[in-house]
Structure 1
Amino acid sequence: MGYTVPEAQGGSNPDVGLLYDINGMAKGAPNWADKAMEFVGEYGILIALGVLMVCAWWSVRKKDDAVPAVAALAWAPLAAGIAVLVNIPIRGFVRRPRPFLDHQGLDVLVKGKTDFSFVSDHTTLAMALGVGLFVANRKYGFLGILLALFEGFSRVYLGVHYPTDVVGGLALGTAVALLLAPLAMMLLTPVVGWVARSRGGWLVRAPGVRTPLVAVPDQPGAVGHRHSDLAA
């Protein structure tokens, strides 16, 4: 059963009503579940996204098109950092207080949150990482986006964000990761290609994985050369 929101507390406001409904789940949950959600919402999902990125990197290194895939993976944390930076002026402009400052009866599971509420940094960061992963690898990216959605849910459950703070974070993280991806790939792919041809090539391509062969038009009798040979 959802938590009944008094009219004086914003019961006619869908955003506030959903806040009380989701946060109300914490009131009926055992203490260990709230503690687990606190860890997951503050640190766990971001750690899981980091592990997911390592798994994706380990996987894409074994493919012929490893260079653009690794470049896309490199873009994911950069996109997350840019998205959080973009959120700084947004928060300062909107200046929305945390929900527990304006609404009574919330079960606030994370203490010490004194900054502004819109947009959610955690959700922005998680979604930018998830979408960045999706650009590099669909399978891992889909899992990353699911984790980002759960991150958003957890922020409302913990009582530190409105649902619209979360929606804003999902939109901001997606916009930065997707809209800047073409420029990022144009800049990062040559850098990753250089790393692939250097002593640190194992970072881009797993040992033993052959580079794709390309035709050489000026030498009809030749079958092809490796990309690394052409670059030399």
Structure 2
Amino acid sequence: MAGLASDGSNPDVSLLYDINGLAREAPPWFDRVMGFVGEYGIMLGLVLVALGCWWSVRRRGTLTDSVTALSGLVWAPLAAGIALLVNIPIRGFVERPRPFKDHEGLDVLVDGKTDFSFVSDHATMAMAIGVGIFVAHRKFGLAAIALAFAEGFCRVYMGVHYPTDVIGGFALGTAAALLLAPVALALLTPLVSAVARSRHGARLVRSRSAAERCTLPETLGVPEQRMGSAEKDLAA
């Protein structure tokens, strides 16, 4: 794709200069922080949100609720991986250079970006994980989606992506996480249910204290007697 005009006639480029211009005006230490946050920090934050979601859902509600939520949580990184795979041919087809290759005066905060720009892998992955966590738990999902939006801002601030690269990443990540969710959950729920019924994997799905509070057997597509035995294993 040919370079875009930088005379203000293209809103994508104008917004790029406006956001990246903040980096030129910020102190060097702040730019270093933003570079780290945009490259690694927000992804680490998404991992922490996912861990917090896991810790919460295994301690609250019923066993059925925990299995359903954890199935969605397992889907989140899988959706991100699928979205990144889909992005490989998209990048190869569009062949959009990084903005700093076509436009002068940008403050680029990270080195080594030699691949194509559209769409942003970081924005795609962050939004896919955020929407996947939202499928599992709305409160944690909203926090994850907020981090995904922050990731998109950082990528433009760092001078390595156009705003439309980020928007495309958001769209791709959301589509992968939502459109494939019904099939993914249909496959993952029985697997997580099997883990919940196992002796050694049950605590990954349900905490001991939550299992002890459960006084009635729950059904997850298995006989009631078997589910009661699983709850006893969890409480052991």
On whether the aligned pair clears a TM of 0.5, the verdict is yes
Change in 2 beyond 3 A, CA 1:108/1:226: farther
| Residues 142-201 of structure 1: per-residue CA shift (max 9 Å, x gap) | 000000000000000000000000000000000000000000000000000000011210
Following the alignment from structure 1 to structure 2, what is the Cα–Cα distance between the partners of residues 122 and 178? 18
**Aligned partner (choices 10, 13, 35) of residue 13 of structure 1:** 10
One-letter amino acid of the structure 2 residue matched with residue 162 of structure 1: Y
Asked if 2 retains the 8 angstrom alpha-carbon contact of 1:100 and 1:108, the reply is yes
Task: Quote the residue 2:49 is aligned against.
Answer: 52
Distance 1:227 1:67, change over 3 A: farther
State the Cα deviation string for residues 117-159 of structure 1 (Å, max 9, x = none).
0000000000000000000000000000000000000000000
Instruction: Report if the CA contact (8 A) 2:217-2:228 is conserved.
Output: no
Relative to the length of structure 2, the TM-score reads 0.88
1:36 matched to 2:33? The reply is yes
Match of 2:22 in 1: 25
Q: Give unpaired runs (5+ residues) of structure 1.
A: 1-6, 216-223
SS class of match (1:81): helix
Secondary structure of residue in 2 paired with 1:9: coil
Q: Give the TM-score normalised by structure 1.
A: 0.89
Q: Which residue of 2 aligns with 1:82?
A: 82
Indicate the structure with greater helix content: 2
Is contact 2:218–2:227 with CA below 8 Å preserved after alignment?
A: no
C-alpha distance in 2 between matches for 1:226 and 1:206? 20
Q: Is the 8 A contact 1:128 1:173 kept in 2?
A: yes
**Within 1, Cα distance between the matches of 2:164 and 2:150?**
15
What RMSD, in angstroms, separates the aligned Cα atoms of the two structures? Answer: 2.0
1:98 to 1:8, Cα distance in 2 relative to 1, 3 A: closer
Q: Tell me how far apart the structure 2 counterparts of residues 227 and 72 of structure 1 sit (CA, whole Å).
A: 24
Q: Does the 8 Å contact 2:99/2:160 carry over to 1?
A: yes
Aligned twin of 1:149: 149
Identity of aligned residues (%): 64
- What displacement does 1:225 show? 4.1
* 1:9 CA drift (Å): 2.4
- Structure 2 unaligned blocks of 5 or more: 231-236
